[in-house]
Structure 1
Amino acid sequence: MTTEILLYIILAGITALFLAVFQYKNKKKSMSKLNMLFAFLRFISVFSILLLLINPSFEQIKLFTEKPNLVILTDNSSSIKHLKQDQQALSLIKNITSNKKLNDKFNLEFYTFAETLKASDSVFFNEKQTNISNAFNKLTQVNKERTSPTLLITDGNQTYGSDYQFVSSFYKQPIYPIILGDTITYTDLKIQQLNVNKYAYLKNRFPVEAILVYNGHNTVNSRFVVTKGNTTVYSETINFSKTNNSKVINFTLPTNNVGVSNYKATLVPLKSEKNSINNTKNFAIEVINQKTKIAIVSDFSHPDLGALKKSIESNEQRSVLFLNTKEIINQVNDFQLVILYQPNYKFKSIYNLLDAQNKNRFTVTGTKTDLNFLNRIAQPYSHVVTNQREEYQAELNINYSPFIIDDLNFESFPPLNSNYGELTFSIPFETILRKTVRGVSTKDPLLATFEINNRREALLLGENIWRWRAQSYINNKSFNQFDDFIGKLIQYLASNKKKNRLNVEYESFYDGNSNIVIKAEFFDKNYVFDTRESLNITVINNETKEKKIFPLILKSNKYQVDLSNLPASKYNFTIKTTNENISKSGSFQILEYNVEQQFLNANVTKLEQLAINSKGISYFIDDTHDLVNNLLNDNRYVPIQKSIKNTIPLIEWKFLLAIIALSLAIEWFLRKYNGLI
């Protein structure tokens, strides 16, 4: 409070006293006791009102002690139970929780991790994948400002993700790894990796690459065997030694039947092996009868052509051939789909031939497209010719009905170069992507599909789609999302199947450790996406005949269900609507494989390096008796006394208002009681 405010308060007190005495002092020499009481009450009222007008401020200081956090981060993956360390881990967590000294010094925070980080002290050691680096990345966002030493209770075996021994570059807290497992080296053979394509073609051979690893000191012999059912389809004798401890085997297998074929690869275990689970891997391949052939027709080179070819051929069921306007004429019958890139008058004979054969097509326009030619050849659309150029970005139409489209964050993609002008259709059409200019949607189609005379067509109004593929890689560190988008469009255009109100997206088989998510879309009778419907999936295990029913959840404009908890087996399923009698059935297979059971030991080297990099200390689970004392005695982890200073204006003091009201009420009541009013 300043001196000036203090002087104002003193002046207010004198003024209030003067007014009170002036009102109740009569010409008599002295006041009666009743008048003195009235004067006092009036002084209180006037002085309080003047204080509110002056509104002085008071500083309030609150002191509190902030304890450091102690983060207990526990590996919840099944490898802990596989290494028989689960009970020791639970015992350690219980001891930490019940330690009074630790609770007095730290705020204990419990987290579990496997694929994702969860705030919980409940550990079941049942998750299928481990990503240690991701757990620290999430914790960085939680504990930015406070000292938070971290106990990492794990075997250090990570199945995917960045190398966690360098997380100290962004996680600025000491880390204390509690190592679950031992350092004993066991003799072990294992199949490190199997590389095999997902698809193969009938009456062909598909390649398989097997990487085999030996851990031991002696020279040993084994046999690598691949079986299909009860039939051995490949076998080879393998020799290992201490120095020659890995082998790469390349071979091919025949494809004789259409459909999914299942195989089992086995590296025959040694008698002394402790873990034989990692000696076997299952794999499958889907055999298809023919390859979809697609022609891309253009009279000049452009990066878009290569990008389209890469995206389309990412699915091995498809092949792409580049042709010019002359070469395509005699080969058009060899292709299920023709992509016409920036057509001009030279394309006239191609369009006539495609129309005569009623063949599906995909037209891509750009700055070199002859729009007058396109308008003249009687297409079901017409583009206003302005001879001006414009750059358009894309906006996904979530109500697109013919097939399921994932949102690739199209708004982040660079604009396509296109011709300025309005596009009009003479037939019904479906918009996949709309044009936007500087973030404002024009509602005009950028990519659209339509059906006419039982054929399917698509129209893309822009060039430089190769930039979209590059941006998709930047966004997702992979081309897969963009390639899948193009693949779905090509699959739709290359077939003539009737449009369905219920569309289901799933794979023929899934690896045992992958996420098994089945997606569906349901449309009303006008083929507008219907969010009011309820979908259920009935899944039947072909081996046990066990039947389970799961609801599909509406998420990101799709209905989907996660079946990752189903055991390895073959399954039939039916997705059915609740309000209408519409359903779709299919089948898939889950291959048996648990990556968490491939480990024999804790990854001691990485965990010790992690402790060194983060200025922590590593402990084996049997040697944690000094852990608590080290944490309690470490001077880096001391409580910090902090203060909060608040400036409170008097006008916010509600008691002063109550005093004014009370003093005025008492004065009025006494005056009324004594007949002075």
Structure 2
Amino acid sequence: MGFSLTTAYPFWFFIICIACGVGYACILYYSNTNNGFGKTFNALLFVLRLLAVTIISFLLLSPLLKTVSRHVEKPIIVLALDNSESIAVGKDSSYFRNEFTPSFRELANKLSSKYEIATYSFDKDVTPGLKGDFHGKQTDMSKLFSELNNRYSNRNLAAVVLAGDGIVTRGADPIYTVEKVPYSIYTIALGDTSRHRDLLVARVNYNHLAYLGNNFPIEITILGYKCTGSQSRLSVVSGDKQIYSEAFNVANENFTKTVNVMVSATVSGIQRFRISVAPVKGEISVQNNFRDIFVEVLDGRQKVLLVSASPHPDIAALKEAIENNRNYEVEQVQLDQFSGNVNKYSLVILHQVPSILDAGSQLLTQLKGAKVPVLFILGSQSNLQAFNALQMGLNIPPTSASLSAAFPQINPNFSQFSISSEVSRMISEYPPLNVPFGQYKSVTSSEPLLYQRIGSVSTSMPLISFNQGLDRKSGIIAGEGIWRWRLTDYLKSGNHQAFDELMSRVVQYLSVKSDKSQFRVILKNNFTEDETVEIDAELYNDSYELVNEPDVNIVVTDKSGKTFPFSFSRTVNAYYLNAGSFPPGEYTYKASTSYSGKSFQKTGSFVVMAINEELLNTVANHNLLFTLAGQHNGEMLHPSDMNKLIDILNKREDIKTVTYAQKKYTDLVNIFWVFLLIISLLSAEWFLRKRSGGY
């Protein structure tokens, strides 16, 4: 480790510091020769004062102490093991579980004598260590490389040794993820590249939502490999009842059959359907011969009325975004054509109504007497005077007919509902809306989701805001041109997901009926088997203030009657439970608590869906592994040649130890020993003077 001093001032300033010390000491000790100390003693005191004053003067130059430390880092070798189901689904499953994984760990131990070794397992996620249980339900190889790129950035990562079958079921193409990485990639080819005799339910296309009394289709695709001449049977079972059955013959080596089954939604709630094909003789695995699907049957769609003052591209964008959620049915009319009853709708959207051409007094009068939530969209045709008279939580004094261009800016404190990070990212890229010019005045109960940004100036004026009144909710989009947001979505990401999600959240929040119960349990109604079941709970006192004093318990019960009891943990003013993951199936729950002498209970259900993507294609993709290694100065090996990797790496002259020099600057005035030195010098001088009778 090296040390040096540096300052922003020229070197000759240090000479001035010495001169100050000399001058101060001379005045004190050589201008007063009659102090009775003697020549030698005077010289000692002179030196002590000279050093103290010089150091103090030097500190006025704000000097920095530069330390240079050197860190030696051995080459890092990462060993990563594909822990997904497809590795161990074939005839060699016992070998991979009982022999290969221990051998791979032994390889890591052998390499650790010369290299710094890090080990990871990956499937859908990346975890430290070599698991080797091969229970992963999905494979995301790109996530592994992204994790390594982040974790070992600016480190001496020399090579990645990846053991897997090359089957990727989610995430980006790993070829592009590692396009510019500086390290080498070696691959160990696992799995089986040959196609075995197999009959499977490959795909099931269906609507996750259906409506009571309607029929809905289930499209089933069956694949068969090397099963020519075999007979099988397709069955669809709902509960204990078989609702469809068909025998079929496998006609060729690469057999495909698509069947459309019409099913009736006869009971509301979550319905489970098992789709299966009977196994044929000689199949290595029958785990992919069935699929379970869950359909939520709703007792009627919610209707949304969309009324516009005149044709506008916003209308089509809104209608398509809302109808992407199958819970909603949109009826779109122009103001002069509407003569119905608003009470049959869950939400009314008014696009530039009231307008300068037609105030829509009949419709607005009807809305005033109803408790139907309303979403106003303002624009160039809006009659602001008539809008302000409605007292919807926002007042815009009409100063002129001009419009402003307002960019959206997220309110970080918005609390009514959450939006995903992708929607937040896209909002920052959306073009401006054309909003009425004026000074916006909001009531205190109004909460903005988005603020207006005029040019580069952030304002507190709302762009999208909501107000919870005594009898209904209302919302305001204070500008026209949201169709450009949907178009921007498509130009940036090739789809409309962000805009559709944003509008869906707005519509859901406004149309959902307020829950006035004092005890609430909040969770999704379906999970996948690799997800954790997370549940929130809220308890309100009689004044509808959140409290979390009493304990809240919940019991989850599966189809067989087995129970799983849990207790919620407390958050700031509510409750939270992470119940972990559950096997695929249907579950019911009962949550309970007591407060102020009252007992509260909530019951419900959820389903856990199986993931069998790893079982649909079990043919190893060694071509991907070969390409990864070939493009990154590596080599693809087979498990029998795995130990050759030690010699291959040892012969690489470019894989070597590196030394890093780390510079650190510390303000000298903050170093304690410098302060201690000054105090010691002055204390020594004082002690010597006192001891000799000086003052």
**Does TM-score exceed 0.5, indicating one fold?**
yes
User: Deviation of residue 315 (structure 1)?
Assistant: 2.0
Indicate the SS of the match to 1:277: coil
Partner of 2:72: 65
Q: Is the 8 A contact 1:400 1:528 kept in 2?
A: no
User: Deviation of residue 133 (structure 1)?
Assistant: 0.3
User: Deviation of residue 136 (structure 1)?
Assistant: 0.7
Q: Is the 8 A contact 2:228 2:253 kept in 1?
A: no
Cα distance in 2 for partners of 1:492, 1:663 equals 73
Q: How does 1:447-466 map to 2 (within 5 A)?
A: 447-451=465-469, 454=471, 456-466=473-483
User: Deviation of residue 197 (structure 1)?
Assistant: 0.3
Partner of 1:198: 208
- Classify 1:471/1:431 alpha carbon distance in 2 versus 1 (closer, same or farther; 3 Å): farther
Partner of 1:30: none
Q: How does 1:345-494 map to 2 (within 5 A)?
A: 345=358, 347-355=360-368, 359-375=372-388, 383-387=396-400, 388-392=402-406, 393-396=408-411, 398=413, 400=415, 404-406=417-419, 408-409=423-424, 412=428, 413-421=430-438, 429-431=445-447, 433=449, 435-438=451-454, 440-442=458-460, 446-451=464-469, 454=471, 456-469=473-486, 479-480=496-497, 482-491=499-508, 493-494=510-511
Cα distance in 1 for partners of 2:491, 2:516 equals 34
Once the two structures are superposed, residues 218-257 of structure 1 have per-residue CA deviations (whole angstroms, 9 ceiling, x without a partner) of 4544332222234332233444455643333333222222
Cα distance in 1 for partners of 2:678, 2:387 equals 86
Are residue 570 (structure 1) and residue 590 (structure 2) matched?
no
Indicate the SS of the match to 2:178: helix
Q: Is the 8 A contact 2:236 2:244 kept in 1?
A: yes
- Classify 1:54/1:585 alpha carbon distance in 2 versus 1 (closer, same or farther; 3 Å): closer
Cα distance in 1 for partners of 2:577, 2:394 equals 39
Indicate the SS of the match to 1:270: coil
Partner of 2:279: 269
Q: Is the 8 A contact 1:397 1:431 kept in 2?
A: no
Partner of 2:144: 135
Once the two structures are superposed, residues 346-380 of structure 1 have per-residue CA deviations (whole angstroms, 9 ceiling, x without a partner) of 52222234446665443322222112333457878
Are residue 87 (structure 1) and residue 98 (structure 2) matched?
yes
Partner of 1:617: 635
- Classify 1:264/1:657 alpha carbon distance in 2 versus 1 (closer, same or farther; 3 Å): closer
- Classify 1:527/1:340 alpha carbon distance in 2 versus 1 (closer, same or farther; 3 Å): farther
Q: How does 1:268-667 map to 2 (within 5 A)?
A: 268-330=278-340, 335-343=345-353, 344=355, 345=358, 347-355=360-368, 359-375=372-388, 383-387=396-400, 388-392=402-406, 393-396=408-411, 398=413, 400=415, 404-406=417-419, 408-409=423-424, 412=428, 413-421=430-438, 429-431=445-447, 433=449, 435-438=451-454, 440-442=458-460, 446-451=464-469, 454=471, 456-469=473-486, 479-480=496-497, 482-491=499-508, 493-494=510-511, 496=513, 499-500=516-517, 502-513=519-530, 516-519=533-536, 537-551=554-568, 554=571, 561-563=577-579, 565-575=581-591, 583-598=601-616, 600-643=618-661
Once the two structures are superposed, residues 601-640 of structure 1 have per-residue CA deviations (whole angstroms, 9 ceiling, x without a partner) of 4332222222112221122233212011111221121123
Cα distance in 2 for partners of 1:451, 1:666 equals 78
Q: Is the 8 A contact 1:269 1:276 kept in 2?
A: yes
- Classify 1:301/1:524 alpha carbon distance in 2 versus 1 (closer, same or farther; 3 Å): farther
Cα distance in 2 for partners of 1:238, 1:219 equals 10
Once the two structures are superposed, residues 68-125 of structure 1 have per-residue CA deviations (whole angstroms, 9 ceiling, x without a partner) of 21112233445455544233353134313432xx334322223333333344566654
Q: Is the 8 A contact 2:551 2:567 kept in 1?
A: no
Cα distance in 1 for partners of 2:373, 2:670 equals 75
Cα distance in 1 for partners of 2:677, 2:621 equals 72
User: Deviation of residue 160 (structure 1)?
Assistant: 0.9
* Equivalent residue letter for 2:216: F
Q: Is the 8 A contact 1:42 1:663 kept in 2?
A: no
* Equivalent residue letter for 1:617: E
- Classify 1:647/1:414 alpha carbon distance in 2 versus 1 (closer, same or farther; 3 Å): closer
Partner of 2:187: 177
Cα distance in 2 for partners of 1:618, 1:583 equals 59
Identity score, percent = 24
* Equivalent residue letter for 1:368: Q
Cα distance in 1 for partners of 2:549, 2:491 equals 36
- Classify 1:655/1:247 alpha carbon distance in 2 versus 1 (closer, same or farther; 3 Å): same
| Deviation larger for 148-157 or 84-93 | 84-93
| Deviation larger for 545-554 or 41-50 | 41-50
Are residue 245 (structure 1) and residue 248 (structure 2) matched?
no
Q: How does 1:147-226 map to 2 (within 5 A)?
A: 147-148=156-157, 149-216=159-226, 218-226=228-236
Indicate the SS of the match to 2:220: strand
**Number of residue equivalences:** 662
Q: Is the 8 A contact 2:51 2:681 kept in 1?
A: no
Cα distance in 1 for partners of 2:320, 2:145 equals 36
RMSD, matched Cα: 4.7
Indicate the SS of the match to 1:351: helix
Q: Is the 8 A contact 1:405 1:485 kept in 2?
A: no
Indicate the SS of the match to 2:335: coil
* Equivalent residue letter for 1:65: V
Unaligned runs of 5+ in 1: 27-33
User: Deviation of residue 280 (structure 1)?
Assistant: 0.7
- Classify 1:530/1:224 alpha carbon distance in 2 versus 1 (closer, same or farther; 3 Å): same
| Deviation larger for 391-400 or 255-264 | 391-400
Once the two structures are superposed, residues 626-676 of structure 1 have per-residue CA deviations (whole angstroms, 9 ceiling, x without a partner) of 011111221121123455678999999988988888788889888988999
Are residue 112 (structure 1) and residue 121 (structure 2) matched?
yes
Cα distance in 1 for partners of 2:533, 2:70 equals 53
- Classify 1:359/1:181 alpha carbon distance in 2 versus 1 (closer, same or farther; 3 Å): closer
Q: Is the 8 A contact 1:513 1:594 kept in 2?
A: no
Q: Is the 8 A contact 1:337 1:361 kept in 2?
A: yes
Cα distance in 1 for partners of 2:175, 2:522 equals 38
Q: Is the 8 A contact 2:88 2:191 kept in 1?
A: no
* Equivalent residue letter for 2:382: T
| Deviation larger for 369-378 or 167-176 | 369-378
Cα distance in 2 for partners of 1:157, 1:168 equals 17
User: Deviation of residue 139 (structure 1)?
Assistant: 1.5
- Classify 1:331/1:35 alpha carbon distance in 2 versus 1 (closer, same or farther; 3 Å): closer
* Equivalent residue letter for 1:222: S
Cα distance in 2 for partners of 1:656, 1:592 equals 67
- Classify 1:397/1:613 alpha carbon distance in 2 versus 1 (closer, same or farther; 3 Å): closer
Indicate the SS of the match to 2:653: coil
